């Protein structure tokens, strides 16, 4: 992640990288971190005491034009005095793959990311942990190609599905089950 000694809560990237290019496809340049490591393509940040605005700033830096991170998942849990009022938030965003590279001097937060999914507010509040998330908002589908870009999705048997599915309701149930009294 951009910044001195920053590590995501969790991350994923295809291994090995770079993958061999398909015939007639352009040569792929993989962006590397300042220490030489290859960026992951998916990052997960979970915030319990971390404030949501801070998580959104991390997201913006990670999905900026100077990294190789393509998808960013935020999960935030807000514990209150009563478990009945505990709330949570989830967002899945990806980089703008069609944006041109900005001229030198632009901050790494350019271009703005594209939000694929976020939990909807209820009465101007984030949903309660105890409230079930129902269809169609109970899953988020991320195009599998986003997990491999800038490389092509590899040919495998069986083939990779077209979408990586994040089960939002299962995440909510996990927060509900694992929170401490």
Q: Per-residue pLDDT tens for 71-129? A: 999 999 888 877 888 889 999 999 998 888 777 777 777 788 999 999 988 888 888 99
- Considering just the CA atoms, what is the radius of gyration of the chain in Å? 18
Say how many residues make up the chain: 181
Question: Does residue 68 sit in helix, strand or coil?
Answer: coil
Please tell me the distance from the alpha carbon of residue 109 to that of residue 45, in angstroms, as a whole number: 17
CB 61 within 8 A of CB 69: no
Number of domains the chain is built from: 1
Task: Tell me the two tokens of residue 63.
Answer: 């999905």
Would 2 be classed as within a structural domain?
A: no
DSSP bridge pairs for 47: 76
pLDDT given at position 167: 95
The highest-confidence range among 20-34, 104-118, 164-178, by mean pLDDT, is: 164-178
CB 126 within 8 A of CB 78: yes
pLDDT given at position 35: 84
pLDDT given at position 48: 77
Q: Measure the N-to-C terminal CA separation of the chain; round to a whole number of Å.
A: 33
Would 135 be classed as within a structural domain?
A: yes
Burial 108-126 (b: 16+ CB within 10 A, else e): ebebebeebbebeeeeeeb
Would 3 be classed as within a structural domain?
A: no
Would 30 be classed as within a structural domain?
A: yes
Is the bond into 155 cis (omega within 30 degrees of 0)?
Answer: no
| Domain coverage including residue 162 | 10-178
pLDDT given at position 152: 86
Q: Provide the total of helices (H) and of strands (E) in the chain, helices listed first.
A: 2, 7
Would 114 be classed as within a structural domain?
A: yes
Would 112 be classed as within a structural domain?
A: yes
CB 55 within 8 A of CB 62: no
Would 88 be classed as within a structural domain?
A: yes
pLDDT given at position 47: 82
């Amino acid at each position: 992640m951009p910044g001195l000694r920053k590590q995501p809560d969790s991350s994923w990237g295809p291994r090995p990288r770079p993958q061999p290019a398909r015939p007639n496809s352009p040569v792929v340049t993989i962006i590397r971190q300042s220490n030489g490591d290859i960026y992951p393509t998916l990052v997960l940040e979970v915030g319990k005491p971390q404030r949501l605005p801070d998580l959104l700033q991390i997201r913006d830096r990670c999905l900026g034009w100077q990294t190789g991170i393509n998808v960013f998942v935020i999960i935030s849990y807000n514990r209150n005095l009563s478990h009945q009022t505990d709330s949570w938030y989830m967002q899945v965003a990806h980089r703008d793959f069609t944006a041109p590279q900005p001229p030198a001097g632009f901050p790494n937060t350019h271009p703005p990311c594209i939000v694929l999914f976020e939990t909807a507010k209820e009465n101007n509040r984030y949903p309660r942990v105890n409230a079930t998330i129902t269809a169609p908002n109970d899953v988020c589908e991320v195009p599998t190609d986003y997990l491999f870009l800038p490389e092509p999705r590899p040919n495998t048997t069986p083939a990779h599905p077209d979408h990586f599915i994040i089960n939002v309701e299962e995440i909510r149930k996990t927060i509900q089950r694992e929170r401490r009294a």
